[in-house]
Chain A
Amino acid sequence: MSKHESKTEAEESNRMWASASFVGVLIIIGLPLWWKTTEVYRVALPYDKISSFDQLPRKVAVDLKILAYDDVTAADLEALIEKAFEDSDIIKPRIQKAVLSDELHHALEYVADELDAVEEINRAYNLTERNCFYLVQRRNLFQHVWLGEERVMFFRDSEASRLVVESLLRWVYQTSVLSGVRSETVDAARSTRLPPAAGYHVVLSVVHPTPDKLEVEFDAKEAVEDYIGTFVDELSYLHNFTLKSQWLYLLDFNFQAKEVKDINEDRGRHFSVRRDRLHLLLTSLEERAATHVAALPTINLALYIVPCHLSPLQIYYDDDKPVQATMQAFMSPKWGGVVFASPSAPDCGHQHPAFHPHTRLVMGTFLAQLRPLLGIPEVDYIPDAFLVPLRSVAARKWEVDSLVRLRTLEQITSAQRTLQSLAQLLGEISNIVITDEVGASINSAVESIQEASHLLAEGDIMNAYDTSKRAYLAAETAFMDPSLLALLYFPDDQKYAIYIPLFLPIMFPVVLSLKNLLLWFRGKPVHKDKIE
């Protein structure tokens, strides 16, 4: 009997070891092997750094120099400015205060014109330094605060301190626009300007619907190069600009214009076009303007030569009020602008109708449209503070500084958001492949973001801009890489259709035998399976 017992026990252990080896081969070796071989390839990514972007320095350091007649005024102003920027999470002014030297003091007293006064300051201090702004006291000022094109603001006395702070916030540093970059909701300036890019194509299209009835003399090439070229030269270290022009003929568009009696007009009438009709013109322009062939984003400027039988054309608001402006024009955010040039009555009445569009007016309107499109917001009016109106084509120096800060912040924020959404997507969709190249550009984007944030906090805006551009481009490349999608559409049901016929019949008995195996290893008597 004992022999029989030991024999069954030996058999029992044989069976159990056989069962254990099945488990060993299938579950311990097979499953990890299967897991490893069917895994989606992913490079290790710096998730911790991506999630801790919020802890990077958020403020932009700016240099501010106060030059006052006496220490008290300077100290008061400094205290006021520091208090005003205390709450701002964007701008951190580094204020230096000084008393005007006697020489400069005298010079400023005797110079009548403000522009000459700026020239005097330029002689004493270096005004070409970016990100450095001067607040200078000037007693013989007609206004409380005066701001020109250079990086200098004059103020009359300590009474003007509040105005100085307000102009700094709203004009020079544009804090609301800057904070709009980080906010979740899109503000007006952000919805208007084009997203950051390495360069832009600026294409002037002269639209001439009736080439057989009206002769138009307009040198598009010269106009673009003279006006737009001068304007974008100042910004050329921010983006590469390519200036182009083209003519589009016979573009049919039905304005649904209505004839309206107008006693001020030579012809005794004008044609009214409703504002809500105009966006349809963009569609027909887009068909012909060939904007999509360029490698870079395109800013479209269209000069629409209104046919004689429709001129003068007058845009009307939705409430049937005409738009009062010298040039009839409209702008489409992130697309470009359209200017209507209506030939006058003598132009059309001639035997050979000919029309010279007023180049300065037309291009001036385009420039006004180009500024917000490129990210220079409209300056609003502050009572008692005087802002010298733009005389030249180029942007004001402090506007350019502000644009650099804006674009840097925008690129950093955009790169951060791109990487964060990529990280989130990777968590949600397990089929996304991350190749070595994509991993490398993600890593370089993360590093550039960190570097750019620190450079901004140190006030080195030019280097910060370049670094942020690298970060932005690297993040976009990583996010847009087609290799991400290689396995995205490999459907799960097809995987199961292949795995189930294989795994289900094999795994079922193996998994069931686990129970007996565990009992046996613990030394408990195994309830024997019986087969009749």
Chain B
Amino acid sequence: MAFCIIFLTLILGAFGEEFIEEIFIKPLPPTHLYSYFQFITLVDTESFVHSNLAPRSIGEVISRFQVDELHMTLTEGQWRHSQWGYPVLDAAPGAELYAWFNPEVKDIDLEWRKLSATLSGLFCASLNFIDSFNTITPQMALWPTGAVKSNLNVTTLLRYASLPREIVCTENLTPWKKLLPCESSRGFSALLNSRMIHNTNYHSIGVHVRKVCASEDCTETKLEIKQTVALVYDYKIIGSNDWSFRKLFGHGLPGACPLATSSIIHVDITSNTSYPFQLSPMPDKVVQSRRGGSDLKLAVYEIDASVEMINIGVKHSTKEKLSVIIPPPLHFNRYVLGYGKEFGGIVTELVNNYWTAIDVVVLENAPWWLPIQLSSLRINSEAESKLVKSQYYSPGRSRQKPYHLELLLKLPPRSTTTITIDFEFVFLKWQEYPPDANHGFYIGSAIIAANLPTAKNYTSLPVTGINYHSTINASQSWYPAVFRTNGAMVSLPTPDFSMPYNVICLACTVVALAFGPLHNICTKELILKPVGTPLSLTQKILNFFKRKKE
């Protein structure tokens, strides 16, 4: 062990790179379990060309397209905020990609397309379908989480796109795992067994690259490459509410990654009071964390590289107990209105349970084939609402630009705010329909950025924090959070795709039927045939058939 530490400090001294792996497990009573993995590589910004622990492919992408900050998530399933509280990092269903480019980039849109195409190849995801028609530049909802120069107008450097139709599976996880220095042979990543993790209610993998301060005064920056996995297990699928690594991941943990400086597992045992359970093996320590109105107890395991198989698990002492779920201070819901194939509407409901007002930014991002009209915007059925503090609307353009609406709202205490906006259905060209057009069309999630006044149900890291330890006792005046609502589906007027051919055949038949007689009338004459004239050969054959018919 002592040798390991000496050796690792040597590596760090020589390359200025650091690798941290962490797991955070939180029971979501009564039926679910949340486990969150994060693998962090800290790199000196200069050492991209010569990399040690950092994945060279990400470095190559970042430096080639001059990206300052990058967030990519691939998600299957829907995070239920009202039941489960808040995740450490929220993600939109399907694929989501947003990035801030370096101010020196001349043509951001071009680089953005190249970036998405490259990442598409790297992660085997359909990110190459990102183009100007589904890219927006959020004005208020998204801000860089990393270190940026304070005098910089970062909004113009941002591009955001989401692909809600994307299906996430093992082919995305395998390249993702290859970016880790220990790959999947050792360390926490060895738990990510694709057979087990795709058997969950919700799974999301992500890559987040940002700049973090290397020194106190932030004159130097480091690059943080964070790879995350979020999984929500259903106790019904596991078979019981007693979970263990072997049940969740198929096998125990084969020790820490030998290259990691710290390998720590945090288990949230706050719910132990209402649902008594016993952790095994016993944690190295239990930490109490008071953070903005929430009081958490975290069991901490520090894992060694040399350790044998560990199987952390929980046994509940009482079976089946019903309880009331207390929803988090802010939660939301979204659904589609309307009937028929002409008009419809999107409704976003925001519920503020807290006793003070909460400021939120709601970003609606509708594709060009779903034109939303600003004139139809109603907040609590009012066209002119006092809740709206600021508003940004960018109308879409057919096949070129999506519709983009952002609202800065002040949600009154203990209230439900309903945002309604109408859209009309659009006819697409027949080649623009996706395969299986009758399946319906996905609308991406809305982004909700909120400054929460309380840390209840809040699990995210503070902005300056790198490892999970930074959440302990991290009280602030407010807690920034970016959420994604559920997506929605609409069914666009879909034609019968064999119709064009049918029309062609029918029209041709009609033309042929009309043309024949017309041609005959114009070019042929009727002549009386005297009886007894000798018959030609063709006539003889015709007569033969006629007789047979009779």
Contact = CB atoms under 8 A, between A and B. Distances in A.
A293 B512 contact: no
Contacts of A244: 49-51, 56
Given A215-B10, A532-B529, A505 B258 contact: no
A213 to B, nearest CB: 9
A269 to B, nearest CB: 26
Given A18-B523, A506-B511, A506-B515, A247 B53 contact: yes
Contacts of A532: 529
A290 B501 contact: no
Contacts of B339: none
Nearest to A517: B523
Contact of B50 (A15, A221, A504): A221
B183 interface: yes
Contact of A293 (B10, B60, B259, B527): B60
Interface string A501-516: 1101110011001000
A502 B504 CA distance: 8
B519 interface: yes
B290 interface: no
B172 to A, nearest CB: 16
A15 B519 contact: no
Nearest to A498: B504
B523 A19 contact: yes
A504 B508 CA distance: 10
Contacts, number: 119
Interface string A234-273: 0000000011111101111000000000000000000000
Given A245-B51, A246-B51, A501 B509 contact: yes
Scoring A220, A245, A247 by chain B CB atoms within 10 A of each residue's CB, the highest score goes to: A247
Given A295-B64, A502-B508, A252 B516 contact: no
Contacts of A504: 512
Contacts of B181: 247, 249-250
Chain B interface bracket (under 10, 10 to 19, 20 to 34, 35 or more): 35 or more
Given A212-B305, A249-B181, A352-B3, A15 B524 contact: yes
A355 to B, nearest CB: 12
Contacts of B529: 530, 532
A473 B4 CA distance: 51
A249 B60 CA distance: 19
Contact of A510 (B49, B186, B519): B519
A250 B180 CA distance: 11
Interface in B495-535: 501, 504-505, 508-509, 511-513, 515-516, 519-520, 522-527, 529
Interface in A274-302: 287-288, 290, 292-295
B14 interface: yes
A11 B520 CA distance: 14
B223 interface: no
B49 A293 contact: no
Nearest to A516: B523
B294 interface: no
Contact of B525 (A15, A252, A498, A501): A15
Contacts of B4: 212
B7 interface: yes
Nearest to B14: A219
Contacts of A506: 511-512, 515
A249 B186 CA distance: 10
Contacts of B51: 244-247
A243 B524 CA distance: 84
Given A244-B56, A290-B55, A505 B515 contact: yes
Contacts of B201: none
Given A295-B64, A530-B529, A501 B524 contact: no
Contact of B524 (A252, A497, A531): A531
A15 B526 CA distance: 12
A221 B46 CA distance: 12
A245 B50 contact: yes
A46 interface: no
Contacts of A215: 7, 10
A530 B538 CA distance: 12
Scoring B509, B527, B529 by chain A CB atoms within 10 A of each residue's CB, the highest score goes to: B527
A509 B523 CA distance: 10
Contacts of A509: 515-516, 519-520
B52 interface: yes
Given A15-B522, A249-B259, A505-B515, A288 B60 contact: no
B522 A22 contact: yes
Contacts of B186: 250
Nearest to A15: B523
B118 interface: yes
Contacts of A220: 50
B523 A513 contact: yes
Nearest to B524: A529
A224 interface: yes
A294 B3 contact: no
A19 B522 contact: yes
A334 B516 CA distance: 67
Given A247-B53, A530-B529, A501 B504 contact: yes
Contact of A22 (B3, B305, B504, B523): B523
A286 to B, nearest CB: 11
A154 B61 CA distance: 52
Contacts of B524: 15, 529, 531
Interface string A487-528: 000000000011001101110011001000000000000001
Nearest to A215: B7
A32 interface: no
Nearest to A529: B524
Q: Ordered nearest first, which 3 A-B pairs have the shortest CB separation? A: A505-B512, A212-B258, A501-B508
Given A15-B523, A246-B51, A290-B55, 7 more contacts: A203-B56, A245-B51, A250-B181, A293-B60, A293-B61, A528-B527, A532-B529
